[in-house]
Structure 1
Amino acid sequence: MTDNTSVAVSTPAELFDLSGRVAVVTGASSGLGLGFARTLAAAGATVYAAARRLERLEELAATDPRIVPIRCDVTVDADRRELVDRALRESGRLDILVNNAGRPGPPFAEDETVDGFNSVMELNLVAGFHLATYAATQLPEGSGASFINISSVIGLVSTAPIGGASYAASKAGTLGLTRELAGQWGRRGIRVNAVVPGWFDTEMTDGLFENEKSAGWVRRNTMLGRGGVDGEINGAVLFLASDASSYMTGQTLIVDGGWTAR
C-alpha cells in the first residue's frame, strides 16, 4: 500500500536547524526560559525573549544578536498582543512559541487564598492560553508553527509536601490544554506539544537543592539519583521547535530523570 505523501529526507543537522525562523519565549529572563532562548538562538532562530525584567533580558541579548529583548507582563492582555504583533511586524513570521512564564503558589492548600489561587492560574495557564490563541489567529493556514507549553511533574503526580494546589492545577491544565489545542489546530498546520521538567535548580525552585533534606528527597526519588542540571532540558525544546518533531503533536515530553516512572 502506498500513498502520495512525500517525505523530505534531511541530515541530522538540517533537522535541528532553525535558521530563518522566529521564536517567542516567555519567562526568558531567568531559569529554564533563559536557556530556551539561548538554545533556539544558537540553532539559528531570531528569538523574541519576553519577561517583566527588561534589564536581565538586555543582558541576555548582549550575548547573542539574534535575541530581541521585550518587556512583557503576560498577564496583561495588551502586552500579550503586542508581543505577537511585534514579532510579526518586525520579522514577518512566527514559527515557534514557548509558553514558559510561570510561578509557584504556597505549598499548603489551606494557606492559599482564592485570589492567590486565581493569580497563579492567570499567569501559569490563562496567559499561555490567550497568547497561543492570539498567535494562532494571526498565522496563515499551513504555517507549520510549533507551540510548546512548559508544564511540570507537579502537573502529573503529587509531590507533596513540595508543590502546591494552584501550581499543580495550572500545570495539569497546561497538559489538557496542549492536547485540545493540538486537536483543534492540527489541520491548520500548527503543532502543539508540552515539555514536563522534573527538578531543576532554578530561581523557581528557590533553594531546594541548597537544603540537604530536600535535595536528598530529590535524589532518593529520582531514578538517575540527582536533579537536572543547566541545559539538560534545552534539547527537548529544540526537538519540539524543529523539523525533527514534524510529525508530533498533542504530546507530552517528560524530562525528569525518571521521577514519574517510579
Structure 2
Amino acid sequence: MNNLFDLTGKVAVITGASSGIGVQFAKALADQGADIAILARRYDKLEPLCKEIESTGRKVLAVRCDVTKEEDVKLAVKSIIDKFGKIDILMNNAGVTSIGSVDTLEETEWDRIIDTNLKGVFLMSKHVVPHMKEQKYGKIINTASVCGLIGSKAIPLHAYNASKGAVIALTKGMGTSLAQYGITVNAIAPSLFESEMTEKSLFQSDYLKSYNMLCPAGRPGMTGELNGAAIYFASDASSYTTAQILFVDGGWTSV
C-alpha cells in the first residue's frame, strides 16, 4: 500500500520559520521527505534549522523575506523556483500577536498585526498560486488560531482576533475557488502552544493557570502536536479535503 503521507519529491515553503511552530513545521515536512524552503525576516535565525534539515539529506534553501512587502515575496518565490523548479506546498505560517483592546491599540500596532498575519498570507499566495495552477497541483496550509473563532475575556487580543478570523475566511474562499485547479487550501488553528510569541505573554502563570483549568485537555499544546495536521494537509492523504479549518486545541473551542 502506498504511503499517503510520503512527501518525497515535493517542495515545501514555510514562512515564519525562524522560531516556534514554523521550525516544527519545517522539520515535520522534511522528515516525510520534502525538500524545504524556509523564509523569515530574521535570516540569521534560519541557519541552525538549515543545517539540521540538511543533515537529514533533504535539500533546503533559506531566504530572508518580509511577507508584508510584495517585492520581498516576489524575489523569494523566484529564488525558490530557480533552485527547485516548483513549489508543491505553501505553509503560510508567519505571524505576530499583540495584547490590546480596540480602545487602546495604536493604529500602527493594528497595521503591524493585520499586515503580517493577513496581508502576508495574501501576498505569498498571490505569487505562489500561479505556479501551482500551471502544474495543476498545490497544497496551501494557513496558520489560523482559535482566536479567529472565539474571544478571550482574560486578555484582549482584538487585532489578533481580527487577523486570524480573516485568515479563516480567506482559507474558505481560496479553498473553494482554487479546488478546480488541483489546489487544496486548508488551515490549522492551534490554541495555546509555547513559542517565542507566547512565552512572555500567554505563558505567564496567571493566564496559564486559567487556561489549564478551562481547557478539556488540562494543558497547553506541546512541541510536535501540530505535526500530524501539517503532514495531513501537505500530503495526498488530504486530496479531497479543502476549505477546512482543523482546530488543534485540546478541546478548547468545544466548551
Common topology (TM > 0.5): yes
Q: Determine if the alignment matches structure 1 residue 33 to structure 2 residue 26.
A: no
The match for 1:68 is: 61
**Is the 1:107–1:161 contact (alpha carbons within 8 Å) kept by the matching residues of 2?**
no
The equivalent position to 1:48 in structure 2, one of 27, 37, 40, is 37
The residue aligned with 1:117 is: 110
Unaligned runs of 5+ in 1: 1-9
Partner secondary structure for residue 197 of structure 2: coil
Q: How does 1:1-262 map to 2 (within 5 A)?
A: 10-11=1-2, 14-65=3-54, 66=58, 67-141=60-134, 143-208=136-201, 210-262=203-255
Q: Which runs of 5+ in 2 are unaligned?
A: none
| Contact 1:95-1:143 within 8 A present in 2 as well | no
**Cα distance in structure 2, aligned partners of 1:128 and 1:202:** 20
Take 2:164 and 2:27, find their aligned partners in 1: how far apart are those partners? Answer: 24
SS of residue in 1 equivalent to 2:53: coil
What is the alpha-carbon distance in structure 2 between the residues aligned to residue 160 and residue 88 of structure 1? 45
2:46 alignment partner AA: L
- Structure 1 residue 32 displacement after superposition: 0.4
Q: Please list every run of at least 4 consecutive aligned residues from structure 1 whose deviation after the TM superposition is greater than 6 angstroms.
A: none
CA contact (8 A) 1:154 1:163 kept: no
RMSD of aligned C-alpha atoms? Answer: 1.4
Identical positions, percent: 37
Structure 1 residues 118 and 144: CA distance shift in structure 2, 3 A: same
SS of match in other structure, 1:231: coil
Partners in 2 of 1:50 and 1:18 — Cα distance? 19
Tell me how far 1:163 sits from its aligned partner.
4.7
- Hey, what's the Cα distance between the residues in 2 that align with 1:260 and 1:131? 28
Q: How many residues align?
A: 251
Residue 209 of structure 1, CA deviation: 6.3
1:189–1:218: structure 2 CA closer, same or farther, 3 Å change rule?
Answer: same
SS at match of 1:111: coil
**SS of residue paired to 2:170:** helix
Give the drift of 1:56: 1.4
With normalisation by structure 2, the TM-score equals 0.94
Specify the SS of the correspondent of 2:28: helix
| Cα offset, 1:27, TM superposition | 0.3
Q: Distance in 2 between matches of 1:211 and 1:183?
A: 39
| Contact in 2 for aligned 1:108/1:161 (Cα 8 Å) | no
